[in-house]
Amino acid sequence: SYVVDPLFFPGGDIGKLAIHGTINDLAMRGASPVCLSLGLILEEGMDLGDLERIIISISVASKKIEVPIVTGDTKVVPRGKGDKLFINTSGIGVVPDNISLSSRKAAAGDAVILSGTMGDHGITIMTRRAGITLEGNLQSDTMALHKLTELLLEVYPEAIHSLRDPTRGGVATTLNEIAASSKTAIIMEEELLPIRPEVKAACEILGLEALYLANEGKCLAIVDNLHADAIVKLMRSKTEGRDAVIIGRVTEGKPGRVMINTPVGGSRVVSPLHGEPLPRIC
């Protein structure tokens, strides 16, 4: 379900976000999406112009990714019992017989790849909601990733062990979940983390860490180190993965622990996110 506030933000809106989010949930399981359902919960009195814009955005997003919406439902709740619009989407996809992705399959020696810059969506929503204007082009990274994951799994079906989209809680929390599931440790290199200058500047001003900010168009891939460089090259050949980079390794350290090496030669523990610093991020 999608309850993002505001409904419209640089780079997208709640409709586009809902379509892309469900597609990416399927993609991270190795599935090729077949169809979607769409449910709308409207608050009485919602601006019909806004609703029309969102419905058009949903239609455009669905057609662009070539995945149809085959069923849906609409409900209206009394004024004050909702907040303009909530959206629920579900999807059906098909996983090839030779694909079996799982966080449990991360193994010592694997490379950790991030498909692009982190924190774009989270910082965009935060600054827009707070009415903060900063220099630079802050915008959500929302996009569908199924074409990218389908290509990766077609070329390297055995080398890719796990795919995850670092949404709520960001890269840090997702890697902690992978480390815990696989009973391994993960070490990141701070110098390798991809982050846009404007996102970095906004984080410094607001006292935030981009590792914990939500992403809506990025994936983490845990892959066999032997093929890691080739997988990065393949990802960079697609728009969805043009900024892909290896950010760390899976190791045999303390199970469930995620560390980061700093540029000055130190290291620190990267804990999972506790609580919700920014509700209604998606």
The domain segmentation of the chain, as residue ranges, is: 8-94, 103-269
Which residue in the block uniquely carries the two structure tokens 């090496």? 261
pLDDT, mean over the chain:
96
Question: CATH number of the domain at 103-269, please?
Answer: 3.90.650.10
Q: Which CATH class is domain 8-94?
A: alpha beta
Contact assessment for residue 91 and residue 35, using Cβ atoms and an 8 Å cutoff: yes
pTM over 0.85: yes
Same fold, 8-94 and 103-269: no
Give me the amino acid identity at 94: V
- Residue 28: left if φ>0, alpha if ψ -120 to 50, beta else—which one? alpha
Per-residue pLDDT of 84-130, as tens digits, reads 999 999 999 999 999 999 999 999 999 999 999 999 999 999 999 88
pLDDT, greater one: 238 or 274: 238
Q: Look at residue 279 in the predicted model and tell me its pLDDT.
A: 78
C-alpha to C-alpha distances, 11 to 189, 219, 245, nearest whole angstrom? 29, 18, 23
Query: Which DSSP letter does residue 271 get?
Result: P
Per-residue pLDDT of 31-80, as tens digits, reads 999 999 999 999 999 999 999 999 999 999 999 999 999 999 999 999 99
Q: Is the pLDDT of residue 274 over 90?
A: no
